[in-house]
Amino acid sequence: MIEIGQLHKSYGATEVLKGVNGRVSKGDFITIVGASGAGKSTLLHLIAGLDSYNSGSISFDGMSLGNLSKKELNNYRNKHIGLVFQFHNLLPELTALENITLPRWIGGQMDGNATEKAKELMELLGIAHRANHLPNEMSGGEQQRVAIARALINEPELLLADEPTGNLDSANAEAVHDLLVKLNEELGQTIVVVTHNAELAALGKSKWTMVDGKLG
């Protein structure tokens, strides 16, 4: 699915990634750990096509991300990648259901099937009762579940999560951990997660450790 070869990324004079190699296969659940500043989030953002790299390669099913235009990268993310961040980034004026279906609106695919898919995801994630609630009417854990459902609405091949439980209390964090395992084991969702949480890191099928810009 994802092949990473000798990946280098610098910001000005600061070299963040120093020749990273890795592979993500269908059905993987990979956790990426390491000290702050080691390059974990940078690597995740490059896989998502949110930033460009200086040298090396990232390919998705044989398609080189380095050769794609900005429009093609947007299409890549919309069709193939689901993104979850530490903060929910929900639109406050939209209900949970509307937030979840937003990527379908953006992609010009909003129809009855999108609404039904969103309701199925809400049922799976245990938030069906929050469909018509605004973000400020939900707990932090519920908001993060809405964000995960939004990331899954286009049925992405790869779910990327950057510190998805970093802003949650221990009970809500554990619930999200269980959810990620369920998505991987029961639905076969391929997942890559950046985390400082030792419990979440241990749940992955494999763990990558970033040390000073390289995978240790």
**Taking the chain (216 residues) in consecutive chunks of 10 residues, what is each chunk's mean pLDDT?**
95 94 95 90 94 94 92 90 87 94 76 84 90 94 90 92 84 85 90 91 92 86
**2-215: in CATH 3.90.550.10:** no
User: Could you give the CA distance from residue 64 to residue 109 in angstroms, rounded to a whole number?
Assistant: 26
Q: What is the pLDDT of residue 111?
A: 67
Q: What is the pLDDT of residue 107?
A: 66
List, in sequence order, the alpha helices (H) in 81-131: 96-106, 112-124
User: Could you give the CA distance from residue 96 to residue 73 in angstroms, rounded to a whole number?
Assistant: 27
Q: How many CB atoms lie within 10 A of CB 40?
A: 24
Q: What is the pLDDT of residue 109?
A: 65
**Domain assignments of the chain as residue spans, ordered by start:** 2-215
Specify whether the CB–CB gap between 80 and 157 falls below 8 A: yes
